[in-house]
Every structure is written in C-alpha cells, then in structure tokens.
C-alpha cells in the first residue's frame, strides 16, 4: 500500500461518522472520488454516488457503507453525567472504561465511559452481565448546567481512538466496519482510471447501514442497477475463541471473502471466482446460508431485483473499540472488483 493510500485510509477511518451523522466522512470520500470518476453527487439520505462511464451497460452498483457504530446522548443528570443509547450494535462488556468523543455543536468533548468500580460492588453485582444502561459518561462536569455548556441531548458519540499499526501490515481501529469498504471503492476507481470498461459503474458510499439500511434502500432504488456488489467486513476466525465448525476458516491476509448463498446471484458469484482465479488474486470462499447482514439485503430486492453478491474483508473483533485487519486484503479486494468490472460485457445474462 502506498503512503498516499494509507494516509487517506487513516484520514477516512479517523473522521467520525456514526450512522445518521456521516456527513464529514461522506464529504471527504466524495472529494477523493472526484479525481477518478466522471461524476460525483449525493442524494437526500446522504449517500455519495461516484459514476464511472455513465453511458456504459450494464449498470453496476458497488456499495460500501460509510457509517460506523456509536452512541448518542439521551439524558444529562443534575450532577453532569451523561446517559446514552447505542447507534448500531454493541457488546457492552467491551465498552466499559473506554474513552469517547461527544461531538457537540462547539466541537468534540472528551469523556470516559464509567461504571462502579469492582471494589465497591456486592458479590451478586460482580457476576451480573454488563448492560449499556449500567454505564454513564463522565466529562468532568460538576453539574448539568456546566455539562450543557459543552454537550447536549442528541449529540453523537464515537470511541476516542485512531487507526494504528500492530505490525507492518496489520492495523487496528474502532471504525474499519465499513469505512475500509468505502476506501476499497476508491482504490477500485484508481485501478480503473484510464481504462476502457463496458459497464456503467456507480460506486456508492451508503449511509445508515448500522441501523436501518436506509441508505442502501434509497440509493439502490435511485441507481437502478442490474448488478450489485456489497463490499463489507466479515468475521476472521484465526483467533483462539472462534469456532470454525460454525463459521468457517478465514484468515487475515488470505484475501477477500466471496460469499455463496441464497442472497448471492450465482452468475455474479461465478464471475467473481473466475476472475480471482484467472488473475491469481488471493481469495476465500464464504458460505452465507442466510442473509448477509450487509447492504446486499436492500440491494437484492430494489425495484424488480438486482443480481447481488457480497465481497468481504476478514476482520477480527467486529463492533469493538479495536477491530483488526490486514491491509493486503484491502488491496486484493480492490483488484478483484476491478477485474470483475473489466470482465463484464453488455451481452451478459444475469438471470439464474
């Protein structure tokens, strides 16, 4: 990965974008995408759409959601503590003690997710499962009046961490899901710049995937594509706690995961595997017997239907403050998508 690409990835990852509040990250993505495509616009739900070869055929949609999980201030006590609700799904056991940014109108405010110290708990409390309702945020305010000078009910919240290297090619962040997918779309555009391809490609950085799939629902209807690929994360199982019998065997650095299942169009899937083999792109085969939990849920049933597929990057510790991935997987995912788009012709029939 080039320094320029790595710098943009870090900038995108570190730009706060909880679902419903994606605007700063979306604006950054659109500015970057404009260098590589024919046209960039946004719709009323905040989806960002970058169009390459607008007169081409068929119309193909590549989607990756630019929102991340987070929290929102719901109540401020007389003592100045903040109670909050989740934006997206969280494991409360990994939330305790984390530092967070509350994104208020006057700028970000640092806070700490607090809980009663274990020394002060009764025995029966120590064995109780942690619930988000048991936690609060301490911003160092002495009263509600003081807190309201800095934050307010409705302010979004994100973890106060940045993308950091664990080793040369393995990185950690709280927000890879799925801004790394939005980054992959940019890298795919780069690989196609200056090349003549047959299809019209709509690269879409969708919003609100972590809550309602609203962004992919609206953008899929508006784009009206024949073929669609959702680019997201899936679970790496190369860690001590994963049960490979239930999920499969997936490793960081072994390439993108190509899904197979009821939500996946067999002809799109077949072409993905074919180009991966022909171009010698490392890849992994993922069984997806139910729905994928990605934007493909909305894409598949848009209008009269879209021939969908899911390509995922293996990720450890999904929806925690410290997700982990391998940057080679990002590069190989972009290569796979670019090779797929170069292989598509107007004559192809996508009906199973």
- Token pair 């009269």: residue: 304
Give the pair of three-digit tokens for residue 240. Answer: 């001590």
Distance CA 352, CA 335 (A): 25
Give the pair of three-digit tokens for residue 144. Answer: 């509600």
Q: Which residue, 339, 324, 345, is CA-closest to 282?
A: 339
Number of helices and strands in the chain (H, E):
10, 17
**Inter-residue contact 252 to 261 (CB < 8 Å):** no
- The H-or-E segment that residue 220 falls in is helix 214-223
Spatial neighbors of 290 by CB under 8 A, at least 6 apart, are 261, 262
Cβ burial 230-261 (10 Å sphere, 16+ → b, else e): bbbbbbbbeeeebeeeeebebebbbbbbbbbb
Q: Are strands 70-76 and 82-87 parallel, antiparallel or unpaired?
A: antiparallel
Q: Which residue, 279, 270, 222, is CA-closest to 59?
A: 222
CA distances from 225 to 5, 56, 104, 136, 191 (A): 28, 12, 38, 44, 21
Query: E strands of 105-226, at which residues?
Result: 107-114, 136-138, 156-159, 164-165, 170-173, 200-206
Q: Are strands 82-87 and 99-104 parallel, antiparallel or unpaired?
A: unpaired
209, 210, 323, 331: the catalytic one is 209
Active site residue 68: no
Q: Which residue, 217, 260, 247, 269, is CA-closest to 315?
A: 247
By annotation, the residues acting in catalysis are 209
């Amino acid at each position: 990965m080039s320094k320029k690409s790595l710098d943009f990835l870090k900038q995108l990852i570190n730009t706060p974008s909880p679902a419903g509040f994606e605007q700063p990250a979306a604006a950054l993505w659109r500015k970057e995408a404009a260098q590589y495509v024919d046209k960039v616009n946004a719709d009323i739900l905040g989806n960002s759409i970058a169009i390459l070869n607008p007169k081409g055929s068929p119309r193909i949609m590549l989607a990756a959601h630019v929102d991340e999980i987070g929290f929102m201030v719901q109540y401020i006590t007389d003592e100045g503590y903040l109670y909050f609700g989740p934006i997206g799904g969280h494991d409360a056991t990994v939330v305790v003690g984390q530092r967070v940014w509350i994104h208020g109108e006057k700028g970000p405010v640092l806070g700490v997710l607090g809980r009663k110290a274990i020394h002060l708990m009764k025995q029966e409390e120590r064995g109780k499962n942690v619930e988000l309702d048991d936690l609060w945020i301490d911003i160092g305010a002495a009263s509600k009046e003081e807190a309201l000078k800095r934050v307010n009910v409705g302010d979004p919240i994100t973890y106060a961490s940045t993308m950091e290297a664990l080793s040369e090619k393995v990185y950690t962040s709280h927000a890879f899901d799925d801004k790394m997918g939005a980054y992959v779309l940019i890298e795919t555009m780069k690989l196609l710049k200056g090349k003549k391809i047959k299809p019209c490609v709509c690269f879409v950085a969708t919003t609100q995937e972590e809550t309602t799939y609203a962004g992919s629902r609206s953008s899929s209807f508006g784009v009206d594509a024949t073929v669609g690929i959702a680019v997201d994360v899936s679970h790496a199982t190369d860690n001590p706690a994963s049960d490979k019998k239930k999920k499969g065997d997936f490793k960081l650095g072994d390439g993108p995961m190509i899904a197979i299942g009821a939500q996946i169009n067999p002809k799109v899937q077949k072409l993905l595997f074919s180009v991966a083999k022909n171009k010698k792109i490392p890849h992994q085969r993922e069984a997806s017997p139910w729905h994928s939990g990605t934007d493909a849920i909305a894409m598949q049933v848009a209008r009269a239907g879209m021939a969908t597929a899911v390509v995922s990057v293996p990720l450890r510790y999904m929806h925690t403050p410290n997700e982990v991935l391998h940057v080679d997987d990002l590069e190989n995912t972009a290569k796979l998508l670019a090779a797929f788009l170069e292989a598509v012709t107007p004559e192809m029939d996508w009906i199973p």
